[in-house]
Amino acid sequence: MLDCQQQELLKEEKEMLEHPLTGGVILFARNYYDKAQLKALIADIRRAAKRPILIAVDHEGGRVQRFRDGFTRLPAMGAIQSLASEIKEAQVLARACGMIMAYELKSMDIDFSFAPVLDVNGVSQVIGDRGFAAEPEKVVTLASALIDGMRAGNMPSTGKHFPGHGSVAPDSHVALPVDDRTMEQIEHVDLVVFRRLIEQHLLDAVMPAHVIYSCLDANPAGFSPFWLQTQLRQRLGFDGVIFSDDLSMHGASVAGDYLSRAEMALEAGCDMILACNHTPGATQILDGLSQSRPANTRLPRLSGRPIPSHASKEYAQACVLLKSYEGQI
């Protein structure tokens, strides 16, 4: 999964989209001016790829919402509890946010947002109010409601950051966080969230953290067969898509150069790797990665999901509900 530098495709980006190893594009705020421009960019991306391709964005709400003007402003997921007077109201609000997210992005021909954040709120600088709550049960309750809204708009869900990024302070974009908790501690705080949602078949995809859990493995989770195969696939029984987090993040640097990062993430069990915000690194991956890889049967499940006919009415109702909190968000 690649990115784009501007609001229109560059010539070299069109060439990269044609590459047989390119399977997706993630969009950022720099790619957005208005809805007409965004639709034109997405149409160009799909034309240049000349085959089905996944288009995604980080559109969680709060400070991580790439498109703002012309889109409904979504609250940070960590603010939902404070906006609502009790948990049932918070669930209704979370579901409305999921529906709005799905409907507005799907209307632009974007396949999905990388959401929800399932990290249990703790000391993490980069997670903060992106997480729903400090208690695993509340995270499960509110994340389930958000996913229910996303699914009402036919949008796949991606739970991140497995097995949990909330208990380490450093930001993996600029540092390499090390979580020294025991497996028992991780199990009772973080993994319970992923287990419950997987058991309920609510996660279509998972994104691992660029965090080293030092008592269990020397590699960050996204490069770890222990976490992706032994724990996620075998122990938790997850059969959805595994996306790597962005390989340009500092937390990925432990795996070496960009080609080494890509090879290590795929070998560990990722179905698709994100190579963003560093065009030379993405080029190194496309030029050096073996093309003789078996066809991935999981990725096509995330594409080509049309907006249901009933969604427009539910979307309008969700917008009315969210507007009632105007001034508090």
Domains of the chain: 156-278 (3.20.20.300)
Q: Is 179 annotated in the active site?
A: no
Q: Please tell me the distance from the alpha carbon of residue 104 to that of residue 272, in angstroms, as a whole number.
A: 25
First to last CA, the chain: 32
pLDDT confidence of residue 172: 64
pLDDT confidence of residue 291: 84
Which one of 19, 171, 173, 250 is the catalytic residue? 173
pLDDT confidence of residue 171: 66
Count of C-beta atoms within a 10 Å radius of residue 32: 20
| Residue 110 three-state SS | coil
Count of C-beta atoms within a 10 Å radius of residue 174: 11
pLDDT confidence of residue 191: 96
Do residues 180 and 227 lie in contact, with contact meaning Cβ atoms separated by under 8 Å? Answer: no
pLDDT confidence of residue 248: 87
| Residue 60 three-state SS | strand
pLDDT confidence of residue 285: 95
pLDDT confidence of residue 255: 66
Q: Is 278 annotated in the active site?
A: no
The predicted-structure confidence for 268-285, as pLDDT tens digits, reads as follows 999 999 999 999 999 999
Residues in binding site for substrate: 58, 66, 130, 160-161
- Tell which residue, 83, 66, 87, has the closest CA to residue 75: 83
DSSP 8-class letter at 1: -
Residues of the chain with pLDDT under 50: none
Which one of 129, 245, 246, 271 is the catalytic residue? 245
Q: Please tell me the distance from the alpha carbon of residue 53 to that of residue 110, in angstroms, as a whole number.
A: 10
Residues in binding site: 58, 66, 130, 160-161
Do residues 249 and 279 lie in contact, with contact meaning Cβ atoms separated by under 8 Å? Answer: no
Q: Hey, what are 141's tokens?
A: 């309750």
* C-alpha pair distances (Å), 110 with each of 8, 65, 114, 209, 245: 16, 14, 11, 24, 19
The predicted-structure confidence for 305-319, as pLDDT tens digits, reads as follows 999 999 999 999 999
Write down the pTM of the prediction: 0.95
